[in-house]
Structure 1
Amino acid sequence: MTILYPYQDAFERALQQRDIAQATRAEYTSTLQDFFHYLENFNPTYQASHRVNQLQTQDAEQYLAMLVDQRQIQAMTYNKVLSHLNVYFKFLFSHGWTPYLPTLDLKSKPLAESRPVNFHWVDDLPDLLTDQRLHVYTRATLLLTAHGDPAQVFLRPGYTAQLQTADWPANEQAFLQEWRAFVTPLQARFQTPDWFLKQRAAADPHLTLPGLHKYLRPNEATAGFRLSPSTLYQGYLVHYLRRHPRLSDQEATDRLHLDPDSIDYYRKLARHAE
C-alpha cells in the first residue's frame, strides 16, 4: 500500500478498532493526504525536515487558512477537517510520536456561518450532464456524487472496478459514452482502468482532491452554485433524506454510511431546506 501520510498504517488500525465506518476512514485519509501534500509544498517547517514532531499550531493554522481563503470552504467543512486533524494529532501524542498538539488552540467555526445547503442540483442532474460548458470532470463529479459517492471515495484507485453502471438511466448512459471517449486515451496512456487521471505525465497519474478543485472552481459561474465536492455531497445527503423521510435512523446510517450524529444533523437540514 502506498503511504499517503506519516503513521498512516498505525492510525488506520486505530480507526478500525474504533469501528469507524469505511466512508469516514476514507475522509480521514483524504484530509491527511491533502494536509501533508500542502505542507510538503508550502510549509517551510515541514519542508526542512519532513518530521511530524516539529509541527506546531501555526502550521495547522496556515493550512486551515488556505482552505478558507483559496478553496472557500464553509464552516461545516472547516470543522470536519479540524476534527480529523485533531483526532490524528491526539493519536500521535498518545503514542509519544509528537510532543505537540497543533490543533489544541484552534477553535471550530459556528455553523450559523454556513450557507444553506443546495440540494436542488441533484434534480437538475440531467441538464447538467448535457451542459458542454462544464468540464467533463465536473460532470462526472456531479454524476458520481448523485449516486452517493463522495470525492474521497471515487478518486481512490480501484474505485472503477467496483462501479456498476448498467442500470443507470438513459441520460446518464449518454454521458458515460462521452466520458469513455474522453478518459479511454488517458487510461491507455497511464495503463490504468481508473477514471480521474491527470492529463500530463506524472509518476502517479491519479487526480488528487486539490487537482479536482482546479477543474470544478472555474465552472461555478456557469453552474450557478458551489461545486466544492464536500458541498455537493452535503446537498446529495439532504436531497436523499428529503426523498426518504420514513427511513429509520439505522436504515439511514446503513445506506449513507454516516454515524448517527451526522444523520441527525442532515435530517434537521432536510426538514428546514427550501
Structure 2
Amino acid sequence: MKIVYPYQDAFERDLAQRDIAQATRDEYTSTLKDFFHYLENFNPTYQREHRVNQLQTQDVEQYLAMLTDSRQILNATYNKVLSHLNVYFKFLFSHNWTPYLPTLDLKSKPKEETRPVNFHWVDDLADLLADSRLHVYTRAVLLLTAHGYPARVYLHPNFTATLKTSDWPADQQAFLQTWHRFVAPLQDRFQCADWLLKQRAAADPHLTLPGLHKYLRPDEAIVGFRLSPSTLYQGYLVNYLRRHPRLSDREATQQLHLEPDSIDYYRKLARQAL
C-alpha cells in the first residue's frame, strides 16, 4: 500500500479496529490525501519540514477556505471533510504525535436548504447558447449536458473523438461555429483534439472540474441559477423524464445511463416539477 499521508498505517488500523466500513475508510484516505497534497504545494508551514505536529488551526482553515472558494463545495461536503480531519487529528493527539488539535475551534456549517432542481434551462438552451455574455466554456457545458453527457464523461480525455454533432439543430450549429473558433488555437497549441482545454501552458491540457467551476461560477449572476455541472445534469434528467413519462424504468435507465436504484429518485423529482 502506498503511503499518502503521515501515520496512515496506524490510523487505518485504528479505523479498522473500530469496525468502520471500508467505503468510509476510503473516504478518509481521499480526504487526507488531498489535504496533505494541498499542504505540500501551498502551505509554507508544512513545506519547510513536512511535520504534521507543526500544523495549527490556521493551516486547516486555509485548506477549508480553498475548498469553499475554489472548488465551490457544499456545506454538507465541508462538514464531512472537517469531520474526517477532526477524527484524524484527535487520533494523532491521543498518541502524542501532535501537541495541537488544529480542528478544535473549527465549526461545521449549517445545513443548506434544499432548492428545487432547475429543469427549465434545457428548454431555454437556444437563448443561452446565443447569449454572448456567457463564457464559451459555460455555453459548451450547457450544450453537452443538454445532450445527456455528465461532467465525468465530457471532461475525460478523448471524449470528443467519438462525439457526433452533425445532426444537432441549427441554433446549436451556430454556437458550434463560435466554439470552434475559440477552441481551435488551444487544440493547435496542445496538439489535442479535445474540447475543454486549459488556456495556459500545462503538462496536462485538460480542464479539471475545479478549473471549470472558475468559469461557470461568475456566469450564475447572469443566468440566475446554479451552473454546477452536477446540478445542471440533474436538471437535464428531470427534464427528460418529464418529457417522456411513458418510459419504463428499464428504458429510462438504459437511455439515461442511470443506475437502476437511482431512477426512483429522479422520477420523484420529475413528479415534483410538474
Name the CA distance, whole Å, in 2 between partners of 1:270 and 1:49. 54
- How far is 1:246 from its partner? 1.5
Q: What residue number does 1:265 align with?
A: 265
Q: What residue number does 1:53 align with?
A: none
CA separation of 1:40/1:171 partners in 2, compared to 1, >3 Å: closer, same or farther? farther
Computing the radius of gyration from Cα coordinates, the structure with the larger value is 2
Q: What residue number does 1:212 align with?
A: 212
User: What is the letter of the counterpart of residue 170 of structure 1?
Assistant: A
Q: What residue number does 1:150 align with?
A: 150
User: What is the letter of the counterpart of residue 204 of structure 1?
Assistant: D
- How far is 1:41 from its partner? 3.9
How well do the aligned residues superpose, as a CA RMSD in angstroms?
A: 4.4
Name the CA distance, whole Å, in 1 between partners of 2:32 and 2:152. 11
* Per-residue Cα deviation, 1:89-122 (whole angstroms, up to 9, x for no partner): xxxxxxxxxxxxxxxxxx9x97x83211111111
Q: State the TM-score, normalized to the length of structure 2.
A: 0.66
* Per-residue Cα deviation, 1:155-207 (whole angstroms, up to 9, x for no partner): 11100101011110000011101111111111111111111111111111111
Compare relative contact order (CA 8 Å, sep 6+) and give the higher one, 1 or 2.
1
Unaligned runs of 5+ in 2: 5-30, 51-58, 85-107
- How far is 1:43 from its partner? 6.8
Q: How many residues align?
A: 231
Q: What residue number does 1:248 align with?
A: 248
CA separation of 1:126/1:200 partners in 2, compared to 1, >3 Å: closer, same or farther? same
Name the CA distance, whole Å, in 2 between partners of 1:36 and 1:164. 41
Q: What residue number does 2:227 align with?
A: 227
The 3-state SS of whatever aligns with 1:128 is helix
Q: What residue number does 1:99 align with?
A: none
User: What is the letter of the counterpart of residue 194 of structure 2?
Assistant: D
Unaligned runs of 5+ in 1: 1-5, 7-30, 51-58, 87-106
* Per-residue Cα deviation, 1:3-42 (whole angstroms, up to 9, x for no partner): xxx7xxxxxxxxxxxxxxxxxxxxxxxx999888756545
Q: What residue number does 1:171 align with?
A: 171
Query: Sequence identity of aligned pairs in percent?
Result: 75
CA contact (8 A) 1:34 1:210 kept: no
User: What is the letter of the counterpart of residue 252 of structure 2?
Assistant: A
CA separation of 1:202/1:69 partners in 2, compared to 1, >3 Å: closer, same or farther? closer
- How far is 1:44 from its partner? 8.1
CA separation of 1:135/1:35 partners in 2, compared to 1, >3 Å: closer, same or farther? farther
Name the CA distance, whole Å, in 2 between partners of 1:254 and 1:41. 42
CA contact (8 A) 2:72 2:213 kept: no
CA separation of 1:153/1:113 partners in 2, compared to 1, >3 Å: closer, same or farther? same
CA contact (8 A) 1:145 1:232 kept: yes
CA separation of 1:209/1:255 partners in 2, compared to 1, >3 Å: closer, same or farther? same
CA contact (8 A) 1:75 1:113 kept: no
CA separation of 1:223/1:35 partners in 2, compared to 1, >3 Å: closer, same or farther? farther
CA contact (8 A) 1:158 1:194 kept: yes
Name the CA distance, whole Å, in 2 between partners of 1:147 and 1:32. 36
Q: What residue number does 2:115 align with?
A: 115
CA separation of 1:247/1:42 partners in 2, compared to 1, >3 Å: closer, same or farther? farther
- How far is 1:63 from its partner? 6.6
Q: State the TM-score, normalized to the length of structure 1.
A: 0.66
CA contact (8 A) 2:145 2:232 kept: yes
The 3-state SS of whatever aligns with 2:116 is coil
CA separation of 1:67/1:232 partners in 2, compared to 1, >3 Å: closer, same or farther? farther
The 3-state SS of whatever aligns with 1:262 is helix
Name the CA distance, whole Å, in 2 between partners of 1:125 and 1:32. 40
User: What is the letter of the counterpart of residue 164 of structure 1?
Assistant: K
Name the CA distance, whole Å, in 1 between partners of 2:193 and 2:70. 32
CA contact (8 A) 1:217 1:227 kept: yes
Q: What residue number does 1:15 align with?
A: none
Name the CA distance, whole Å, in 2 between partners of 1:221 and 1:49. 43
Name the CA distance, whole Å, in 2 between partners of 1:178 and 1:257. 30
- How far is 1:46 from its partner? 8.8
- How far is 1:146 from its partner? 0.6
Name the CA distance, whole Å, in 1 between partners of 2:131 and 2:73. 25
Name the CA distance, whole Å, in 2 between partners of 1:130 and 1:36. 43
